[in-house]
Amino acid sequence: MTQFLAQTWLLWILLIAAGTLTLLGRTSQYFHYVRNRFLMALVGLLTVSLIVFSLMEVLPGDCAEKYIAYKSTQGETITQADIDAERARMGLDQPFAVRWGSWVANLTLNGDLGFSCAKRQPVNLALGDRFWLSFMFCIAGLMLSYLIAVPFGILSAYVLNKPWADRNPQHTTARRLLNTLGLGLAKALDVVLRIISYLGLALPNFLLALSIILLYVFAGESAPTGLFSDAWRNEPWFAEQGFQWGKLNDFLGHIWLPIFVIGWSATALQLQTVRALVVDESNKLYVDAARARGVRGLSLWARYPVRHSISPLFNSVGFDFQRVFNDLPIVAVVIGLTDAAALLIEALAMTNDQELAAGILFLVALVVISMNFITDIVLAAVDPRVRKSVLGH
């Protein structure tokens, strides 16, 4: 019994979730929407798995060949018959649909992503914590980009329709000068930020990483590549004298580089998005109406255009994650990381490890789809505009 449960735990969780949502959806329109959205997410995942799985078919070689090739290095002589027998044993002679079906079935039953032949261990084991490491990189990079992009995007939107100088003939000369100074500073800051953000678009991540490494080279220091410096790489986190703060320190000294690199280009795009969203909202009549009621200054901007552009921004978190992860593999190569992204490159470009690559790609898609699902249901609960469009009231 316990074994049966252990082998099918994920399926039960999914079924219970769907069942609960269906039950709740009978009485609540919101949960009905959540259930539909949940089912849509599952269908999306199924489609993704199909795409990923068929993509992996184009990679050269298969598990049997790799396994046999490994055996041959052990000194055994191999014939084509051996390979075919191995294929039949692994089920690789089955048609594509059957193999895909069994992969999906294993995945839904207990979250098993398959067996990596190149690494000769299950994909779940091979990945280990590395996926979480990549995940944290992306999230940290995203956080960084939001931290920069949101305030400065708002500033950029604020100064967009402002002139460089105050030329209002109604103002006194002193006031005009003062206002011009303020406007000039804000505008100049905006221009600088926009140039930086354009640079972020134009300078691909790997070039940025290279440039930073190059700066270290010029300065005559060793660049903080990898995750740890040599001294700490093999030290455990917990030694006899307790937690090793030095290792943490070393770790932090290294991970800022990938986070900064992937954060920058994300910032560039994010800055433009925030700016466009806020400008859009700030041109709407209700902002003028609020101003006419006496709302002004910071509270006007915070409560009206900014507050109303948060939802669409929040809504795009999933795809932002996808975009950031997309850049991560190349950065990982340049900086010499050992996370899932580096593993992905290794699996694709070097070892042709279909199972591992498919697993990683599927996990990324899983994260994106889950994020989209969560943002959608949160927004439907929180934002009345979204609620109106999806629930119809």
Partner 1 sequence: MIAAIFGKRRAAQQTSQDADYYTAGQFALIKARFMKKTVGLIAGSVLMGLVLLGLFAPFFSPVDPTINGADSDYRRGAPQPVLFWDDNGFSWRPFTYTYAKEQPKIDFGALLQSGNLDALDQLTSSGALDASTQNKFTVDKEARRYLQFFVKDWEYTILKIDTFGIDWRWDRHLFGVATGKIHILGTDEDGKDVFSRTLHALWITISIAIVALIVKLFMSLLVGGVSGYFGGKVDTILMAITEAVRVIPPIPIYLACAVALAQIDLTPVQRYFAIAVVIGALDFAALGRRLRTHILVERNQDYVLAAQLAGASHMRVIWRHLVPSFGSYIIVDTLINFPYVILAETSLSFLGLGLTEPVNSLGVLLQKAQDPDIQQNMIWQFFPVAVFVLLIMAFVFVGDALRDAADPYSERNK
Partner 2 sequence: MTASVTNRNKLLDINNLTIDFRTDEGLVRAVDDVSLSVREGEVMGLVGESGSGKSATAKAIMRLHPGNTIFQKPSQINFYHNDQAHSILTLRERKLNLVRGGQVSMIFQEPMASFAPAITLGEQMIETMQIHRRIDRATARKEGIALFDRVGIPMPDKRFDQYVFELSGGMRQRAMIAMALSTQPKLLIADEPTTALDVTIQAQVLELMLELREQMGMAMIFITHDLGVIGKVADNVTVMQRGRVVEAGAMEQVIYHPQHEYTQRLLNSLPHLSTLSDVKTDTLEPFLTVSHAQIQYPAAGAKRNGEAFTAVKDISLTLPKGKIIGLVGESGSGKTSLGKAMLGAVPLSHGEIIFHGEHPLKLQAKGKIPRREIAARGQMVFQDPYSSLNPRMTVRDIIAEPLEAMGLTKSKAETDARVIEIAKLCKLNIDHLRRFPHAFSGGQRQRISIARALVCNPQFLVADESVAALDVSIQAEILNLLKSLRDELNLTILFISHDLSVIANLCDWVCVMKQGELIEEGSVRKIFLDPQAPYTQRLIGAIPLLDQKKLDAACEPLNTLSTATPAQPQGCLQSRYRVING
Give contact residues for partner 1 (rule: CB under 8 A).
43-44, 47-48, 50-52, 55-56, 58-60, 198-199, 201-204, 206-207, 210, 213-214, 217, 318-319, 322-323, 325-327, 329-330, 333-334, 344-345, 348-349, 352, 357, 360-361, 364-365, 368-369, 372
Q: Which is nearer to partner 1, 41 or 155 (CB)?
A: 41
Q: Which stretch binds partner 2 (CB under 8 A): 15-23, 62-70, 212-220, 383-391?
A: 383-391
- Of 379, 391, 378, 368, give the one whose Cα is nearest residue 308: 379
Strands in 205-312 per DSSP E: 238-239, 242-243
Q: Mapping DSSP to helix (H, G, I), strand (E, B) and coil, where does residue 229 land?
A: coil
Cα 277 from chain centroid (whole Å):
21
The two structure tokens encoding residue 202: 């134009």
Binds 109: which of partner 1, partner 2, none (CB < 5-8 Å by kind): none
User: DSSP readout, 81-140?
Assistant: HHHHHHHHHHTTTS-HHHHHHHHHHHHHHH----EETTTTEEHHHHHTTHHHHHHHHHHH
- In the complex, what is the shortest distance from the CB of residue 385 to partner 2, in angstroms, rounded to a whole number? 5
236 binds partner 2 (CB under 8 A): no
Judged by CB under 8 A, the chain residues 11 through 50 that form the site for partner 2 are: 29, 32
Q: Which is nearer to partner 1, 108 or 372 (CB)?
A: 372
385 binds partner 2 (CB under 8 A): yes
With contacts defined by CB under 8 A, how many residues of the chain interact with partner 2?
Answer: 36
89 binds partner 2 (CB under 8 A): no
167 binds partner 2 (CB under 8 A): yes
Asked if 345 contacts 111 with a C-beta cutoff of 8 angstroms, the reply is no
Q: How far apart are CA 109 and CA 122, in angstroms?
A: 16
The two structure tokens encoding residue 35: 């259930």
Asked if 153 contacts 270 with a C-beta cutoff of 8 angstroms, the reply is yes
- In the complex, what is the shortest distance from the CB of residue 162 to partner 2, in angstroms, rounded to a whole number? 5
384 binds partner 2 (CB under 8 A): yes
| Interface pick for partner 2 out of 3, 170, 173, 234 (rule CB under 8 A) | 170
Q: How far apart are CA 234 and CA 338, in angstroms?
A: 14
Q: How far apart are CA 314 and CA 307, in angstroms?
A: 11
| Interface pick for partner 2 out of 89, 120, 233, 307 (rule CB under 8 A) | 307
Residues forming the site for partner 2 (CB under 8 A): 29, 32, 161-163, 167-171, 284-286, 288-297, 303-304, 307-308, 311, 383-385, 388-390, 392-393
